[in-house]
């Protein structure tokens, strides 16, 4: 910042002269001397991948110890620069948009600015030592403020002028009657950023955090990883370390388990009140609700998943058995201990990291194989010799098949309807047919999720507070997390072909009645069934094999 450095130089020289450290001649010569700047070494990353870089550093240090810093190692990651930049921008924009919806909280601090120019510059300098710019969110010290214009000093030495729409976000803090602790006045420390047209506007650092993971479901290669809003502000990696409730984003794994028990997407289950008395619920009665508080009666599982109906999910989990479901979700890489075998498990009351969620959804995306996420592709020494190289197990090859290909296809089909007409219709803006996914929102909107995928890329977005608390009214997965996912995929999927999945062998498509869920050759809906579970025309589409030796009629009576 040459301008501010020159100002600081003049101030120091003047003080040295006043305190008799230099005589008049020396002072005058020093004022005329050009400002010389010694360029030091700057360690910068070529892209915004600080969280991933720290993950790689930890892995390399664990393998090589202190030699990791002295052997001249080069670490090649699986990240794609364009994808990483897209993820970084999407997370920051998503959090800033979320923050704007909840209003301006006021300046970050206040500083006393004396009238004497040199003293004012010194005070401003001290502000920039305590408050640092975060990427394009610049620290500014207000010099003048009115309801129509704010003039503020930047660390570069320039003066920013904010007016018009740039003041709209903080308009209430510019009123004379605004509380002293939120008022923008001379000496207030604020954040400024430029919009797409280069105009300054008042912004603020968000209190919420977010994470985003993108990986290739074919082998687990990480393509983008953002662990939080800013690594310099908070180094906790929410992508890999934050154990959060997945909420409704966990439902697909319960439905997948149900398919293995003979359910189909056309199985009709009642969306009606559900109550567990205290003696059967561990001492406290339990009465789950749907997010919208409404009950819509009998509906097909496909519709229930698309609309994220809690009561249907609970009844399905009750039918297949919580213990069976707990064992089943381990196939996707979840720790069963983090998902206790109780009915609330179906509503995502357990705990998972965004990385675990991305790995789990990749099983649907790749046709039923479990792949392990990996970040480091290879490591070379100072001579270019390869010291280690990743050998990932690939879907369809060495990777373990954990669910049937038919199950993966049917679940992908159901999750596409979440986008087509369910809770994630915003994703239709991408104009693709091959997108599938699931929103997730926990009680009181504490955690917001969206996990979505194509056959080529899986992405998971999470938004929440470090100390769990509500994100606010209406801050669902669709409102807070899905926009981050969409912003990323708009760039990451550009140029990639739209490839809907092809049905594997062992599936049949039957016509059914959309209202009753009964097989009807003149029905209005086509639905997929495992060939061994195909119902007779006169049968309701209820599960064939059920846990505990119960009959289909028993289960039907229970579900309705």
pLDDT in tens, 42-74: 455 568 999 999 999 999 999 999 999 999 999
Question: Does the pLDDT at position 542 exceed 50?
Answer: no
**Summary mean pLDDT of the chain:** 91
Mean pLDDT of 387-415: 97
Phi, psi (5° rounding) for residue 527?
Answer: -135, 150
**Residue 166 in 3-state DSSP?**
helix
Question: Does the pLDDT at position 476 exceed 70?
Answer: yes
Question: Does the pLDDT at position 374 exceed 90?
Answer: yes
What sign results for the dihedral spanned by CA atoms 552, 555, 557, 560? Answer: negative
Mean pLDDT of 116-132: 89
276: confidence class by pLDDT, cuts 50, 70, 90? confident
546: confidence class by pLDDT, cuts 50, 70, 90? very low
Which residue's structure tokens are 């006169």? Answer: 538
The two tokens of residue 406 are: 């038919």
Which residue's structure tokens are 């119902």? Answer: 535
- Helix ranges (DSSP H) in 471-560: 482-492, 552-559
Mean pLDDT of 495-499: 92
Mean pLDDT of 185-190: 97
36: confidence class by pLDDT, cuts 50, 70, 90? confident
Question: Does the pLDDT at position 392 exceed 70?
Answer: yes
The pairs formed by 1-7 with CB atoms below 8 angstroms and a separation of 24 or more are 1/155, 1/156, 1/157, 2/35, 2/37, 2/157, 3/156, 3/157, 3/158, 4/121, 4/125, 4/155, 4/156, 4/157, 5/35, 5/37, 5/157, 6/35, 6/157, 7/121, 7/157
Name the residue among 305, 376, 380 with its Cα closest to residue 347: 305
With a pLDDT cut of 90, the percent of the chain lying above it is: 80
pLDDT for the residue 46: 64
Q: How far is CA 79 from CA 45, 71, 216, 368, 373, in A?
A: 13, 23, 10, 24, 12
Name the residue among 141, 155, 125, 148 with its Cα closest to residue 188: 141
The two tokens of residue 413 are: 């089909």
d(CA 239, CA 464): 12
With both helix axes pointing from N to C terminus, report the angle between 310-320 and 552-559 in degrees, rounded to the nearest 10: 150
Q: What would the pLDDT profile of 71-110 be if each residue is shown by its tens digit?
A: 999 999 999 999 999 999 999 999 999 999 999 999 999 9
* Ordered DSSP codes for 208-222: SEEEEEEE-TTT-BE
Question: Does the pLDDT at position 519 exceed 90?
Answer: no
236: confidence class by pLDDT, cuts 50, 70, 90? very high
pLDDT for the residue 157: 87
């Amino acid at each position: 910042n040459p301008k501010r450095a020159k100002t600081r130089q003049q101030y120091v020289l003047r003080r040295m002269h006043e305190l008799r450290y230099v005589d008049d001649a020396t002072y005058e010569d020093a004022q005329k001397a050009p400002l010389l700047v010694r360029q030091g070494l700057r360690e910068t990353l070529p892209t915004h991948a600080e969280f991933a870089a720290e993950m790689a550093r930890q892995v390399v240090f664990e393998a090589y110890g202190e030699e990791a810093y002295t052997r001249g190692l080069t670490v090649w990651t699986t990240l794609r620069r364009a994808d990483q930049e897209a993820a970084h921008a999407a997370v920051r924009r998503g959090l800033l948009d979320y923050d704007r919806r909840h209003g301006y909280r006021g300046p970050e601090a206040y500083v006393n600015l004396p009238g004497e120019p040199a003293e004012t510059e010194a005070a401003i300098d001290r502000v920039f030592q305590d408050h640092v710019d975060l990427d394009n969110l610049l620290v500014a010290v207000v010099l003048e403020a009115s309801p129509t214009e704010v003039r503020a000093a930047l660390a570069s030495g320039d003066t920013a002028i904010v007016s018009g729409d740039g003041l709209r976000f903080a308009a209430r803090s510019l009123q004379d009657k605004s509380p002293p602790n939120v008022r923008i006045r001379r000496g207030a420390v604020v954040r400024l950023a430029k919009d797409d047209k280069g105009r300054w506007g008042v912004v603020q650092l968000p209190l919420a955090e977010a994470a985003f993971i993108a990986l290739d479901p074919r082998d687990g290669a990480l393509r983008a990883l953002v662990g939080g809003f800013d690594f310099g502000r908070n180094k906790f990696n929410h992508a890999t370390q934050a154990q959060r409730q997945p909420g409704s984003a966990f439902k697909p794994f319960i439905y997948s388990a149900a398919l293995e028990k003979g359910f189909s997407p056309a199985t009709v289950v009642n969306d009606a009140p559900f109550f567990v008395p205290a003696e059967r619920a561990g001492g406290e009665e339990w009465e789950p609700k749907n997010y919208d508080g409404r009950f819509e009666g009998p509906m097909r599982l496909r519709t229930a998943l698309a609309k994220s109906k809690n009561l249907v999910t609970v009844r399905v989990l009750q039918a297949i058995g919580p213990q069976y479901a707990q064992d089943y979700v381990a196939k996707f890489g979840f720790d069963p201990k983090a998902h206790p075998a109780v009915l609330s498990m179906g509503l995502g009351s357990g705990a998972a990291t965004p990385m675990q969620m991305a790995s789990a959804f990749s099983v649907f995306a790749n046709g039923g194989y479990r792949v392990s996420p990996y970040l480091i592709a290879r490591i070379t020494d100072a001579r270019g010799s390869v010291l280690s190289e990743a050998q990932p197990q690939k879907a369809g090859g060495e990777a373990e098949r954990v669910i049937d290909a038919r199950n993966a296809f049917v679940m992908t089909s159901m999750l596409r309807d979440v986008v087509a007409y369910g809770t994630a219709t915003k994703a239709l803006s991408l104009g693709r047919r091959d997108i599938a996914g699931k929103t997730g929102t926990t009680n009181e909107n504490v955690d917001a999720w969206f996990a979505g995928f194509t056959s080529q890329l899986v992405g998971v977005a999470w938004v929440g507070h470090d100390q769990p608390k509500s994100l606010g009214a209406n801050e669902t997965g669709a409102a807070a997390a899905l926009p981050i996912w969409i912003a990323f995929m708009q760039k990451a999927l550009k140029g990639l072909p739209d490839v809907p999945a092809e049905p594997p062998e062992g599936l049949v498509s039957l016509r059914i009645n959309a209202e009753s869920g009964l097989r009807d050759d003149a029905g209005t809906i086509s639905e997929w069934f495992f060939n061994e579970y195909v119902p007779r025309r006169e049968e309701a589409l209820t599960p064939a094999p059920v846990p505990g030796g119960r009959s289909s009629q028993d289960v039907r009576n229970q579900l309705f």
